Amino acid sequence: MNTRIRNKNNEQQIHRQRLARMADERRQILAMPPQKAIDAILDHPRNTALVHSMAEEDLFFLVHDIGAQDSLEILSLASNRQWEYILDLEVWNRDRINRDAVTYWLNLLHQADPNRFIEWTMKDKYDLLEYYLNRTVDIRVRENDEEDPSDYGDGYFTYDGTFYIRFFDDAFEAFDDEESQEELENFIFTMLERLAAEDHVAYQLMLLRTINVMPGESEEEAYRFRNVRLSEKGFLPYDEAVGVYAPIRPETVKKRPRKVLLSRADTDFTVPVPVNHSFLLSADTLFGKALQSIDTEEVLNDLQVEFAALCNQIVSADLSPVREREGLLKVVNKSCGYLGIGLHRLSGTPEPPGPAECATLLRIYSLADIFRTGYGMVVELRNRAVLWQRESWFHRNRLALSFWGERLVGHLGGLMLKRPKCFDNFTSGGLYREFSNLQDLKGAEMALAETITFDRLLSRIDIPVSDFPDDHFITHENLLLTLWARHRLDLKPAPEPIAIDQFRPFYKALWTTGVTPPRISDAIKADFLDWLAGATGEPAYELSRDTGDALERLFGRIEEEFSDVPANDLDHRFVQMFLLKKN
């Protein structure tokens, strides 16, 4: 008895070691380029078991990276569960079945493994097959030789003299070339012929059910079961998935239930763990560093599964299906960014928390709640921007958002979006990107605070907006600077362009002589502050406190654009920071 028990334990131990080894091999293969990955899979001594051990998400991206038409060998090794996952993602447009997508993928799966495909569709996917045939072919039943088949018209075919079948005229119209249409017709011919040959009674019953399918009810039922399956992967229906963007504050986040941690020897390697999502996340993010610091395999596997589910929920909430790793990378970066912001916020520290502290937070809180905590900071900032805009001076005067200049408009425009974005100004290739850390948020917050401050100041200066010149592009910067310049030149206080000859003496007085490159003196900046204090009625020291950084940036831009431009070379066409009359 003891010998049998020891032998059984040894067999279990060997099996676990084999599964752990396969898990490591799977990670290595999925990290390879697509062509090398497919070669490694096909050369693997237990390639069927290897493919079956892959998470459905990983196989899905592998198939698309390789190309669906070139993945037949991989699809032939895939399990029925993996086939079903592919169909669940590929053949639906929101809550409607895409008949052309069903045609395409059923044909591919039939090519991959015809025998298994017939058995699978008749046993497990008969509901989808019957719905598809109901939408694709017209079926006539000839009883007791009472009708002449020629009365049905052209295009009908039969395998038993009882059921006559014809393709609808629009069955393959989405496939442009005749070769593809012929291939798909042959697929259905072959499939039905094999069904009739395998079990003729089952074939006839299937066609009878197909005739009586009620498309609306059948589609609704299929959608319900599909949602149940995909919800386990994080693909929730849209009205549930958008909950990932529901903001929560740190004090309301619930802690996870405590969990007993297992050693690697006790880890369940039979549970497929998606690895593509974790491969794509940057190790420089707070979340990436936290994962690297976790040495308990069970915890790491759980977090990888949870992270993949979070990414999938974001895909559902954004209504943007992802099929390639490039698209998945954007979702992963978005998730990492808000997870990092959430971790920083939950830590309660001014500086970003270290990997160990982040790893502790990952054990305490769910990833979805951490994401929502981080996203909540962006929502709070957006709400501030929206509330300010409704009551702002510039909105009351019906000025365009461009009044605030390129930099501030970039930040404000990003915050005003339904799903706020960080203004990037093509630094990383685009005008906007997702927020990735608290520094991004602080930049947007500073821009909003600067805008609110200038809006308040402008509301206190008696400036008739109707007097703005129609032939000039007005911004808050050139408006304020022009009013100040007119004050220095003893001109009427109005938003009117200045003649270039009048402007040159003022321009010369801006610069400190004997300095390379020329700089604007502190005395000139103080003069602007004194004028602004007089125009708004606010104390200069309060203005310096509230707008000091903004004014420094304003004069910094003047230095950047004009420090090497002599007064005699000024041309109104190239001066944007002051309003100058056209010659």
Pairwise pLDDT comparison (565 vs 10), residue with the higher score: 565
Question: Mean pLDDT throughout 370-380?
Answer: 97
**Closest to 442 (Cα-Cα) out of 465, 423, 426, 461:** 423
- Which of 445, 460, 475 represents a domain boundary (last residue)? 460
Q: How many CB atoms lie within 10 A of CB 77?
A: 21
pLDDT of residue 151: 72
pLDDT of residue 62: 94
Please indicate, yes or no, whether residues 380 and 441 belong to a single structural domain of this protein.
Answer: yes
Number of domain units in the chain: 4
Please indicate, yes or no, whether residues 369 and 383 belong to a single structural domain of this protein.
Answer: no
- Which of 460, 487, 505 represents a domain boundary (last residue)? 460
Q: Over the stretch 181-220, which tens digit does the pLDDT of each residue have?
A: 999 999 999 999 999 988 899 999 999 999 999 999 999 9
Please indicate, yes or no, whether residues 353 and 385 belong to a single structural domain of this protein.
Answer: no
**Closest to 247 (Cα-Cα) out of 124, 152, 128, 338:** 338
Please indicate, yes or no, whether residues 421 and 342 belong to a single structural domain of this protein.
Answer: no
Domain for residue 580, yes or no?
A: no
Domain for residue 579, yes or no?
A: no
Parallel/antiparallel/unpaired status of strands 511-512 and 432-433: unpaired
Find the domain containing 250 and state its range: 238-375
Please indicate, yes or no, whether residues 89 and 118 belong to a single structural domain of this protein.
Answer: yes
Please indicate, yes or no, whether residues 275 and 214 belong to a single structural domain of this protein.
Answer: no
Please indicate, yes or no, whether residues 262 and 199 belong to a single structural domain of this protein.
Answer: no
Convert 537-562 into a string of H (helix), E (strand) and C (coil): CCCHHHHHHHHHHHHHHHHHHHHHHH
Domain for residue 193, yes or no?
A: yes
Please indicate, yes or no, whether residues 303 and 412 belong to a single structural domain of this protein.
Answer: no
- Which residues have CB under 8 Å from 362's CB, separation 6+? 287, 290, 291, 294, 303, 343, 370
Domain for residue 8, yes or no?
A: yes
pLDDT of residue 113: 95
Please indicate, yes or no, whether residues 300 and 359 belong to a single structural domain of this protein.
Answer: yes
- Which residues have CB under 8 Å from 528's CB, separation 6+? 484, 551, 555
Domain for residue 329, yes or no?
A: yes
Q: Over the stretch 415-448, which tens digit does the pLDDT of each residue have?
A: 999 999 999 988 888 899 999 999 999 999 999 9
Pairwise pLDDT comparison (565 vs 388), residue with the higher score: 388
Residue 163 has pLDDT above 60, yes or no: yes
Please indicate, yes or no, whether residues 396 and 353 belong to a single structural domain of this protein.
Answer: no
DSSP alpha helices (H): ranges in 402-475?
405-416, 438-460
Q: Over the stretch 305-347, which tens digit does the pLDDT of each residue have?
A: 999 999 999 999 998 899 988 899 999 999 999 999 999 999 9
Domain for residue 89, yes or no?
A: yes
DSSP letter for 312, please. Answer: H
Residue 414 has pLDDT above 90, yes or no: yes
Lowest mean pLDDT among 444-453, 508-517, 566-575: 508-517
Query: What is the band of 269 on the pLDDT scale with cuts at 50, 70, 90?
Result: very low
Residue 573 has pLDDT above 80, yes or no: yes
Parallel/antiparallel/unpaired status of strands 96-97 and 92-93: antiparallel
Classified as helix, coil or strand, 429 is coil
- Which of 198, 231, 264 represents a domain boundary (last residue)? 231
DSSP letter for 298, please. Answer: H
pTM: 0.86
Domain for residue 302, yes or no?
A: yes
Please indicate, yes or no, whether residues 298 and 194 belong to a single structural domain of this protein.
Answer: no
Please indicate, yes or no, whether residues 90 and 212 belong to a single structural domain of this protein.
Answer: yes
